[in-house]
Structure 1
């Protein structure tokens, strides 16, 4: 049994590595390709938004199905196979419309496996396993961005990068066939609707979404900023993304594996969004490649704290709806991509690329305010419950004393 658990843990790490390698291999050049095919920052934003819409719906739908039927492994396999076909299809895009179509397909496919994979990766009371699996996603992003940047540098072609992405997803599907994890559908207690689940965890989702709207606005134009204003290309461009991913991998496997308490988890989210605000201010003021490097290190730390901190809270507080709650977080991330990509494209079109980064910093600070207020409310609720328990215990003792005196 222990051997099976160890094998599944290794496969889950490999799957997250493969998934993020594929996403990293393609995402690095999609904004540049979209800008080349359309010649418009606004259309770049619209293509990013289309991807986000389909992915958000897919996350929510398939995450709920995974909780309802308990067939987590099947959803992981289906998602990887569908993603393989979708990313191979990117090589066929020849104008803005065909690129939009394949991005929509990719959004649906990549939303199929996420919630189920998070649920399989988390043991109750043990954050270390989840941190390990998620960290390999960061390592995968590092490998994917570097591999695709080298391929593009050597061949001057985006097509091979997309073929690489599809091939990696296909390797992930083959790996998923060996998963032995089984979830009994009779144990799945899905109560209420997704709307009720969203309300229950509303402040976590809101804080996360505000930060990610700001981040997505910058990410929609960041490769263009690096390419046009800082004159980076090929391997240099990939190395900027690699620094962030490597920092995430190291930080998740050291600091984040040790997180246990409720207090530390909420504080991680707060510090994560505050550091994110500092990152975007650094982007705004940067003039050379050297200025971006410390910002990428800080970005890796801040994202690790925010993302894993949010996952820890959701997985702990939503037993029976773990795939749904984490998939809904991914949906909020995708919705943020929709809004952020549109905002990024519009602001860049009329106010310049650097203005987007200033706006991103302000939105991250707003996220920090929401996160702090959420923790204060939770502490207040805990204090009220504590006082109620004390009052109840004192009342019981007083009643027993009266019975003894009158008996």
Structure 2
């Protein structure tokens, strides 16, 4: 189905530019803190556009938002070719991040209204990440080629979405600037933010950590590809499981996975932890996304806010990873991720229960 092809290819395009950004930034003279800021600005603009266009998709046409998102992404990702120093790279990544936040909420709402499995649809994004990591690993740090290829794939997605049929969806009468959906589901959103802040802190410096452990470009790509490959296999099989159990298991497995990275003496010893972290994110992302989409009438906004939390965590996590690595070393960042994951679990247990009480009172 065309919508599935777009999900796979758009995620692959994103990852082609993403994997070696820390290494490329370092080659341009960026410090660890500047690397964190470069990664963070991408997430900050993703956060902004996810909220704006999630709400637009609920109030207007899904197809228009999807089409515009891929058109903008094509131009934004190509502009990365012209980055020649940390400042221009930061600007280029800001534009790329904004473009990436436009379409996901609308895509998930589109799939929901077509009554398809969200778990299976989301898993195709993970398959795209796997393909992107493997291809980027084979190409290596040839950033002009990676940036150009990303733009080309996004252009193909743009052409594919031209042929998507628009669908009928309920007409909502909600304020554009309403925060009700965010507040009603605060347990899900803010707990996810905490866990992902720790995770992004790790991913912001992970290619550099793997190099320190002896990995070359190809092995960095292979190790990164394990995570989405496992996600693809796991996410497709989560339909029978309750959202609540998936979410809680996701937080606890995250703690185990991030702690395991601390004890790796070789890049090969990182691999078991990648399997654990992949399972944890599969449970957490699918469970959280399904929960908010099923419980809220503004489907694209609810799904877009998941992406906004990921973007917000990208900002905080990138800075966290850069600062911890600069002053305390890479392993301190892994421990920080474990602490943030257990904090997310505790926050979810607290706020999630309170949100359920509010939701049940609203229903009555």
SS in 2 for 1:294: helix
Cα distance, 1:380–1:39 mapped onto 2, change above 3 Å:
closer
In structure 2, list runs of 5 or more residues that go unmatched: none
Matches within 5 A, 1:356-375: 356-375=333-352
Matches within 5 A, 1:250-399: 250-254=233-237, 256-259=238-241, 264-319=242-297, 321-377=298-354
- On the 8 A contact 1:123/1:129 being kept in 2, the answer is no
Cα distance, 1:163–1:29 mapped onto 2, change above 3 Å:
same
SS in 2 for 1:187: coil
C-alpha distance in 2 between matches for 1:115 and 1:282:
33
Using the size of structure 1 for normalisation, the TM-score is 0.85
What's the offset of the Cα at 1:211?
Answer: 0.2
Matched, 1:166 2:157: no
- On the 8 A contact 1:91/1:159 being kept in 2, the answer is yes
SS in 2 for 1:38: coil
What's the offset of the Cα at 1:191?
Answer: 5.1
- On the 8 A contact 2:30/2:86 being kept in 1, the answer is no
Matched, 1:96 2:74: no
2:142 paired residue number: 157
Matches within 5 A, 1:54-203: 54-69=45-60, 71-123=61-113, 129-152=117-140, 157-184=142-169, 187-190=171-174, 193-203=177-187
SS in 1 for 2:28: helix
2:190 to 191, 202, 206: 206
- On the 8 A contact 2:55/2:176 being kept in 1, the answer is no
Using the size of structure 2 for normalisation, the TM-score is 0.95
2:12 paired residue number: 21
1:226 paired residue number: 210
C-alpha distance in 2 between matches for 1:210 and 1:347:
16
How many residue pairs get aligned? The number is 362
Deviation track 1:10-65 (CA, whole Å, cap 9, x = no partner) reads: 12211111111011111110111112113300000111121122111111111111
C-alpha distance in 2 between matches for 1:230 and 1:26:
23
C-alpha distance in 2 between matches for 1:304 and 1:105:
28
In structure 1, list runs of 5 or more residues that go unmatched: 1-9, 390-407
- On the 8 A contact 1:38/1:44 being kept in 2, the answer is no
C-alpha distance in 1 between matches for 2:100 and 2:151:
12
C-alpha distance in 1 between matches for 2:358 and 2:245:
17
- On the 8 A contact 1:207/1:371 being kept in 2, the answer is yes
**Structure with max Cα Rg:** 1
What's the offset of the Cα at 1:181?
Answer: 3.1
What's the offset of the Cα at 1:142?
Answer: 0.6
CA RMSD in angstroms, aligned pairs only: 1.9
Deviation track 1:333-377 (CA, whole Å, cap 9, x = no partner) reads: 111111110111111111011111101100100111122234544
Deviation track 1:76-130 (CA, whole Å, cap 9, x = no partner) reads: 1111111111111111111111101111111111111111111001148x6x621
